[in-house]
């Protein structure tokens, strides 16, 4: 079985990290994978391409300069036909739209979609005609969480029988081995201070403004605590300005980092104050490092973070709740360790790479049978 994964990306985030884990695991099950990378020539994706090539995953780069590119479906159909891929697996909005148009030229060949988020823009009725054809054409739709499945069915009208829930998987032990404990603390000169971490894009979705306001309260009780924010995005300047207006002395914006495992190994807890979240892969990564997670009680996060067992869930946007949860964990080392160890156990047992890959291969077989 040969599958071609279609994705447009601007960096390595959740969906891209997922592919880097999934494709080698599918290979171990006898599924050959290739990637068609939709790339804006002005923003080359050398890092993702290089990491895929090091995994021996063939990459075909298809240029896309604007959102609308009439030549792209033909180029994609040619790749599928020439290289004899059995099915197309589309990821993210551009992948869905261009994949569906290309598959019109290949009747009888199935298309699978992975939906990685319950993006708010998909609620806009004016955009429904852009995405509904791909949901109709797809032989199988993979939702990465029950929350995303509900969104697909209840908001977008996807046929329930087509939608399979396959959560992200992570090899907890292998991920932990990639870290260099102590390296990040040495870099920032904080050998012992309590470290509160955030890793993700600096956008409204991620709720970093809530975290900054919560940290202002934490600082009053723990003046030695430090907040480290790894990531970048369109809201960075506004968030830095907010940190200044709150007079936060111990909050630092790190920008994009290539060493999230090092950061997670050295922080005391991870905070995810998201307003919505399709999955939240970084929560799994923190749990693999035996770190407790404080997260919003929204979307998929309660499916990952056990409230009171692997972390603490808070109402989205509630600054006081987040501050209280952070202070609870910082103030009770034994509880923090217990939450962290329970999180690691949960990743090892419930979010394995083998389970994710096996269910994905099963979705492929179902899609191929339905196309006959």
Residue 63: band (very low, low, confident or very high) from pLDDT cuts 50, 70, 90 = confident
pLDDT value at residue 372: 67
pLDDT value at residue 291: 98
pLDDT exceeds 70 at position 163: yes
How confident is the model over 256-269, as a mean pLDDT?
96
* Cα torsion 71, 77, 79, 82: sign: negative
Residue owning tokens 């985030």: 13
In this structure, of 66-80, 193-207, 336-350, the range with the lowest mean pLDDT score is: 66-80
d(CA 77, CA 100): 10
pLDDT value at residue 71: 83
How confident is the model over 48-73, as a mean pLDDT?
89
Angle at alpha carbon of residue 142, lines to 83 and 276, rounded to 5°: 130
Mean pLDDT (the chain, rounded): 94
Question: Tokens at residue 186, please?
Answer: 């040495």
d(CA 185, CA 195): 9
Please say whether the beta carbons of 90 and 15 come within 8 A: no
How confident is the model over 9-36, as a mean pLDDT?
92
In degrees and rounded to multiples of 5, residue 190 shows phi and psi of -130, 80
Question: Tokens at residue 51, please?
Answer: 């990491």
pLDDT value at residue 348: 96
pLDDT value at residue 43: 84
Q: What is the pLDDT of residues 327-371, one digit of tens each?
A: 999 999 999 999 999 999 999 999 999 999 999 999 999 999 987
d(CA 36, CA 47): 15
Q: What is the pLDDT of residues 294-323, one digit of tens each?
A: 999 999 999 999 999 999 999 999 999 999
In degrees and rounded to multiples of 5, residue 75 shows phi and psi of -60, -40
Our separate counts of H helices and E strands in the chain read 16, 13
Please say whether the beta carbons of 88 and 4 come within 8 A: yes
Query: Which residues is 164 bridged to in the sheet?
Result: 142
DSSP characters for 82-147?
A: HTT-SEEEEEHHHHHHHHHHHHTTSTT--EEEEE----GGGG-GGGHHHHHHHHHH-SEEEESSHH
* Residue ranges of domains in the chain, CATH in brackets: 2-169+352-370 (3.40.50.2000), 172-350 (3.40.50.2000)
Residue 119: band (very low, low, confident or very high) from pLDDT cuts 50, 70, 90 = confident
> Among 18, 17, 23, 65, which residue's Cα sits nearest to residue 44?
65
pLDDT exceeds 90 at position 32: yes
d(CA 19, CA 91): 10
The proportion of the chain whose per-residue pLDDT surpasses 70, expressed as a percent, equals 100
pLDDT exceeds 80 at position 124: no
H/E segment holding residue 296: strand 293-296
* Cα torsion 41, 52, 57, 27: sign: negative
The proportion of the chain whose per-residue pLDDT surpasses 90, expressed as a percent, equals 85
How confident is the model over 220-232, as a mean pLDDT?
96
SS3 201: coil
Q: In Å, what is the CA distance from 112 to each residue of 5, 136, 217, 365, 366?
A: 9, 11, 46, 11, 10
Q: Pick 203 or 372 by higher pLDDT.
A: 203
> Among 27, 32, 35, which residue's Cα sits nearest to residue 6?
35
């Amino acid at each position: 079985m040969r599958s071609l994964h279609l994705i447009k990306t601007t960096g390595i985030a959740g969906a891209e990290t997922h592919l880097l884990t999934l494709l080698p695991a599918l290979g171990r099950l006898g599924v050959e994978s290739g990637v068609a990378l939709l790339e804006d020539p002005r923003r080359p994706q050398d890092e993702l391409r290089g990491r895929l090539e090091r995994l021996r995953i063939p990459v075909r780069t298809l240029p896309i300069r604007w959102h609308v590119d009439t030549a792209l479906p033909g180029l994609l159909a040619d790749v599928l036909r020439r290289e004899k891929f059995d099915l197309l697996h589309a990821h993210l909005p551009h992948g869905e739209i261009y994949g569906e148009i290309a598959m019109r030229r290949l009747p009888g060949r199935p298309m699978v979609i992975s939906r990685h988020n319950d993006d708010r823009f998909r609620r806009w009725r004016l955009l429904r005609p852009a995405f509904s054809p791909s949901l109709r054409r797809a032989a199988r739709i993979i939702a990465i969480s029950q929350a995303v499945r509900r969104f697909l069915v209840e908001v977008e009208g996807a046929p329930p029988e087509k939608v399979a829930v396959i959560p992200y998987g992570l090899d907890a032990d292998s991920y932990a081995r990639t870290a260099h404990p102590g390296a990040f603390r040495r870099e920032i000169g904080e050998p012992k201070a309590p470290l509160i971490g955030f890793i993700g894009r600096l956008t409204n979705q991620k709720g970093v403004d809530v975290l900054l306001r919560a940290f202002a309260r934490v600082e009053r009780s723990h003046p030695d605590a430090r907040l480290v924010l790894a990531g970048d995005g369109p809201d960075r300047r506004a968030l830095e300005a907010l940190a200044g207006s709150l007079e936060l002395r111990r909050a630092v914006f790190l920008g994009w980092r290539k060493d999230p495992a090092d950061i997670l190994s050295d922080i005391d807890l991870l905070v995810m104050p998201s307003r919505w979240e399709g999955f939240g892969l970084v929560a799994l990564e923190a749990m693999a490092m035996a770190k407790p997670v404080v997260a919003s009680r929204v979307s998929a996060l309660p499916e990952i973070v056990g409230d009171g067992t692997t972390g603490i869930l808070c109402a989205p946007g509630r600054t006081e709740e987040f501050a209280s949860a952070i202070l609870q964990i910082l103030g009770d080392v034994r509880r923090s360790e217990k939450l962290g160890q329970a999180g690691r156990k949960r990743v090892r047992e419930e979010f394995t790479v083998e389970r994710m890959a096996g269910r994905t291969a099963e979705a492929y077989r179902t899609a191929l049978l339905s196309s006959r």
